[in-house]
């Protein structure tokens, strides 16, 4: 995977724009209307990362009507009874406060390493948005360096992990299908759910089997295959994104969130992270894949120009998918990003 953004990202992060945006957002909850995800923390991180810091506060002003206050707390989550609160959306604020306490008292990498394997089985939570938010938060912390970790960036990880814990959703038991030789072939072989209707929870409940892929004998192979998966899912959007333009971005952005977290995790967690990322990408693919692929138009735009268009378009999913496409790099990934700009309704 390439990074056409160079080294400007760390300097932009240090400007304070992201911290200001996160402070604005941490008075809001991770959802609205009881189940729709608040995408703002992820979108503003992507905007800042890709040289669009000057647009962040204007973007937030336009997104503000979608924000709701944090839900009221219920009772504290503790180290002794956390498992009772896992997957309980009524405990979102309890979980956020728990991780705030944990991150105030210990290094953030230590907290992440402890909780990552506990949360991975529920990676499909809220259409994979919590793991995606976690990936954005971890990328910010890694880019900050040990001396540059600020309170808003540490708090963002607490909000992301709290959301993931509260919405944890394991997939149903799955049978193995024939092994696939590549990530692209594996995604092509994922059987669509029988009833392509209703919300994602209804669709995921229909899953029965996935092709065998997403295993690795060692951490380095796991990372390489995770890169392969993100690349394949991003490329596939160019030809299959029309099946459900908003939801299918998660087939790429969810495994990319896992990939972004790997450098902060013990190497022993890399292989199970690959397996979970594969299950998330395959689940989204099964839930929304169209019957037939469609043609797409290559783009002559540069990576910077494509992201400028995504930022001007304003849709949060489009911004995040384009951010992932720039991670992948190359003509087909940029074509997939421009396809998302075409397919998703503009916000601005």
How far apart (Å, rounded) are the C-alpha atoms in residues 117 and 297?
Answer: 40
In this model, does residue 288 exceed pLDDT 60? yes
Position 15 scores a pLDDT of 60
Q: For residues 342 and 151, what is the distance between their CA atoms, to the nearest angstrom? A: 37
DSSP code for 175: E
d(CA 57, CA 45): 12
> Given pLDDT bands bounded at 50, 70 and 90, which one contains residue 34?
confident
pLDDT at 348 (0 to 100): 75
Question: What rounded mean pLDDT belongs to the chain?
Answer: 95
H/E run at residue 210? strand 209-212
Q: What local confidence, expressed as pLDDT, does residue 3 receive?
A: 54
Query: Per-residue pLDDT for 234 more than 80?
Result: yes
For residue 146, name the pLDDT band (cuts at 50, 70, 90).
Answer: confident
The DSSP call for residue 144 is H
For the residues 106-118, what does the mean pLDDT come to? Answer: 98
What pLDDT does residue 10 have?
46
**Among candidate residues 269, 173, 177, the one with its CA nearest the CA of residue 222:** 269
**CB 189 within 8 Å of CB 125:** no
- pLDDT attached to residue 306: 98
Mean pLDDT over 200-226 rounds to 97
Whether the pLDDT of residue 347 is over 90: the answer is: no
Name the pLDDT band for 14 (thresholds 50, 70, 90): very low
**Is residue 81 pLDDT above 70, yes or no?**
yes
* Mean pLDDT score, 322-332: 98
Q: Is the pLDDT of residue 179 over 70?
A: yes
Percentage of the residues of the chain whose pLDDT score is greater than 70: 96
* Residue whose structure tokens are 């192979």: 221
Over 50: is that where the pLDDT of 329 sits? yes
Q: Is the pLDDT of residue 96 over 80?
A: yes
| Strand residues in 36-144 grouped as ranges (E) | 36-37
Rounded Cα gap, residues 236 and 185, in angstroms: 11
Please tell me the distance from the alpha carbon of residue 114 to that of residue 98, in angstroms, as a whole number: 14
Cα–Cα distance for residue pair 173/44, rounded to 1 Å: 36
Q: Is 240 exposed, middle or buried (0-12, 13-18, 19+ CB in 10 A)?
A: buried
């Amino acid at each position: 995977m390439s990074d056409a953004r160079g080294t400007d990202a760390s300097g932009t992060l240090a400007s304070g724009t992201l911290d200001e945006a996160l402070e604005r957002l941490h008075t809001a909850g991770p959802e609205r209307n009881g189940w729709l995800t608040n995408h703002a923390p992820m979108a503003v991180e992507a905007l800042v990362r890709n040289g669009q810091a000057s647009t962040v506060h204007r973007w937030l002003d336009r997104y503000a009507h979608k924000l709701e206050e944090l839900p009221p707390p219920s009772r504290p989550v503790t180290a002794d009874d956390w498992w009772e609160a896992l997957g309980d959306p009524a405990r979102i604020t309890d979980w956020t406060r728990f991780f705030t306490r944990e991150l105030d008292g210990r290094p953030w990498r230590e907290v992440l390493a402890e909780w990552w394997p506990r949360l991975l089985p529920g990676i499909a939570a809220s259409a994979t948005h919590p793991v995606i938010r976690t990936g954005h938060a971890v990328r910010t912390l890694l880019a900050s360096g040990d001396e540059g970790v600020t309170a808003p960036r540490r708090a963002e990880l607490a909000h992301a992990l709290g959301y993931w814990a509260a919405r944890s959703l394991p997939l149903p038991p799955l049978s193995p299908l024939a092994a696939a030789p590549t990530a692209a072939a594996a995604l092509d072989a994922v059987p669509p759910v029988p009833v392509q209707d209703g919300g994602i929870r209804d669709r995921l409940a229909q899953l029965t089997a996935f092709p065998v892929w997403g295993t690795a004998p060692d951490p380095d192979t796991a990372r390489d295959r995770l890169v392969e998966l993100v690349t394949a899912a991003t490329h596939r959007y160019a030809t299959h994104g029309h099946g459900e333009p908003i939801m299918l971005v998660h087939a790429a952005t969810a495994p990319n969130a896992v990939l972004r977290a790997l450098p902060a995790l013990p190497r022993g967690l890399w292989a199970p992270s690959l397996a979970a990322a594969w299950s998330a990408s395959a689940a989204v693919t099964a839930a929304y894949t169209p019957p037939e692929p469609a043609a797409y138009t290559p783009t002559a735009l540069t990576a910077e120009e494509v992201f400028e268009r995504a930022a001007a378009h304003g849709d949060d999913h489009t911004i995040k998918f384009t951010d992932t496409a720039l991670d992948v790099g190359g003509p087909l990934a940029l074509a997939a990003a421009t396809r998302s700009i075409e397919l998703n309704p503009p916000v601005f």
